[in-house]
Amino acid sequence: MSAGSDNILFEYLLRLGDNCLILSQRLSEWCGHGPVLEEDIALTNVALDLLGQARLWLSYAGEVEGRGRGEDDLAFLRDAREFRNVLLVEQSNADYAFTTARQFYFDAWHSLALSELMRSADVRVAEIAEKAAKEVTYHLQRSSEWVIRLGDGTEESRHRMQTAVDALWSYTGELFEMDEMDRSARERGLGPDWSALRERWMQYVARTFAEATLEIPQGTWMQRGGRHGVHSERLGYILAEMQFLQRAYPGAKW
C-alpha cells in the first residue's frame, strides 16, 4: 500500500492514537500531585507508556496520509474537531477515585482491543499492538488493584469509588461502537468488531467490582461523539495546555 492512499486506515490509526495521547495528557496532570510518591511515579510511567503508544500510532498515520505530517503535527496542530478519541479519556481527573475508574474502564477495553489488533492483516498495526500489549497488561493489573483497594477499603473510599464508576459509566459504551468506517476496517482485517468485545469486558468488570464490593452501574444511556470529532468542552482545555508552545512558537524545535 502506498502512502496517502488509504483514508480508512488513516482514520483508524487516529482513533487508536488519539485515545492514548489524550489519556496520557490527562494522567500527566497528576505529576507532582499524586496522593503518595509511589503513585505519583506510577501514574507518570503509565502516562509515558501511553504517550509512546500514541507516537507509534500517529507516526504511522502520518505516513499513511502522505501529506508530510508527522506525529508532532498530528498532536499539536489539529483542532478539537479533528481529534478522534473517545469521550471517556478526556474526562477530568476530579479526585483519585475518578482517575482510577477512568483508567480501569479504559484499560479493560484496551487490553482486549490490543489482543485482537495483534492479529491485524496490517503488519504495522499488529506490531504496534504487540508492543503496546505488554505495557497495557501492567496498566490493567494496576488499575484493577486500585479499584479493589478503594472499593473494599474504608466507607469513604468505597463511597468515592462507587460515585466515580457510576459517573463514568455512560462514557463506556462508545468503546464498543461500530460505525461504517469500523465495519470497512473489519472487512479488510484491520481490526476486530468492537461490539464483540463488550461481553468479555463486562465479565472482567463484574469480577473486579465483586471483589471490590462495588455495584455495577445500571444505566443504559451512553454518551457518544468523540470518535467523530464531537467532544466535551474538556478537550479544548486539554489541547490549550498541550499545544500552547507549538501554537505560540510555530515550527519551534528543541
Q: Which pLDDT tens digits describe the chain residue by residue (254 residues)?
A: 444 448 999 999 999 999 999 999 999 997 777 777 778 788 999 999 999 999 999 999 999 999 999 999 999 999 999 999 999 999 999 899 999 999 999 999 999 999 999 999 999 999 999 999 999 999 999 999 999 999 999 999 999 999 999 999 999 999 999 999 999 999 999 999 999 999 999 999 999 999 999 999 998 899 999 999 999 999 999 999 999 998 899 887 76
Could you tell me if residue 1 is inside a domain? no
Rounded to the nearest 10°, the torsion over CA 191, 87, 135, 143 is -130
Could you tell me if residue 253 is inside a domain? no
CATH assignment of the domain containing 84: 1.20.1260.10
Could you tell me if residue 238 is inside a domain? yes
Range of the domain at 136: 7-248
Predicted confidence at residue 38, as pLDDT, reads 76
What is the rounded distance in angstroms from the CA atom of residue 171 to the CA atom of residue 221?
9
Could you tell me if residue 231 is inside a domain? yes
Predicted confidence at residue 3, as pLDDT, reads 43
Number of domains in the chain: 1
Could you tell me if residue 76 is inside a domain? yes
Cβ atoms of residues 61 and 17 within 8 Å: yes
The Cβ of residue 130 has, within 10 Å, a number of other Cβ atoms equal to: 15
User: Quick one: cell of 234?
Assistant: 474538556
Predicted confidence at residue 252, as pLDDT, reads 78
User: Quick one: cell of 162?
Assistant: 462507587
Could you tell me if residue 2 is inside a domain? no
Q: What sign results for the dihedral spanned by CA atoms 120, 121, 124, 130? A: positive
Its pTM stands at 0.94
Could you tell me if residue 25 is inside a domain? yes
Could you tell me if residue 129 is inside a domain? yes
Cβ atoms of residues 57 and 50 within 8 Å: no
Max intra-chain CA distance, the chain? 58
